[in-house]
Amino acid sequence: MSVPRYDDGLQPERTLLSWRRTALAIAGGGAVGARVLSDQVGPVSYAIGLAVVAVALVAYLVAHRAYGRAVVEMVHGSGLAPSPGVPVAALAGACLLLGAGGLAFVVAAY
């Protein structure tokens, strides 16, 4: 009887769900932010909102692929999950775009 290399406690599934939840929240924030900023900033707000939604969608898809790689690596490889560098960078970029939109709102409103 072989001993599994990793703890079968659904950690990859919980991590995937948290990445999905974060990506969807950022996408929603980008869409709402574009709508709210449209009166003050104009069409630029739609470009910022679309960029945020696109980055969040990419992070969502990359997280799904990373989940598959993590499970394969944990089951058949070293037993350790790979680092999630690309989704972290993508969501950080989306947060920066949301922050830029918020700053534009504050500057335009006052």
SS3 1: coil
87 C-beta neighbours (distance < 10 Å), count:
20
- Which is more confident, 79 or 36? 36
Tell me phi and psi for residue 3, to 5 degrees: -95, 130
Can you give the pLDDT at residue 8?
59
Contacts of 78 (CB under 8 A, 6+ apart): 5
Give tens-digit pLDDT for 55-109.
Answer: 888 888 888 887 887 777 777 766 555 566 776 787 788 788 878 878 887 887 6
- Which is more confident, 91 or 47? 47
Q: Does residue 49 carry a pLDDT above 70? A: yes
Can you give the pLDDT at residue 28?
92
Q: Does residue 6 carry a pLDDT above 60? A: no
Q: Does residue 33 carry a pLDDT above 60? A: yes
Residues across the chain: 110
Place of tokens 């945020």: 52
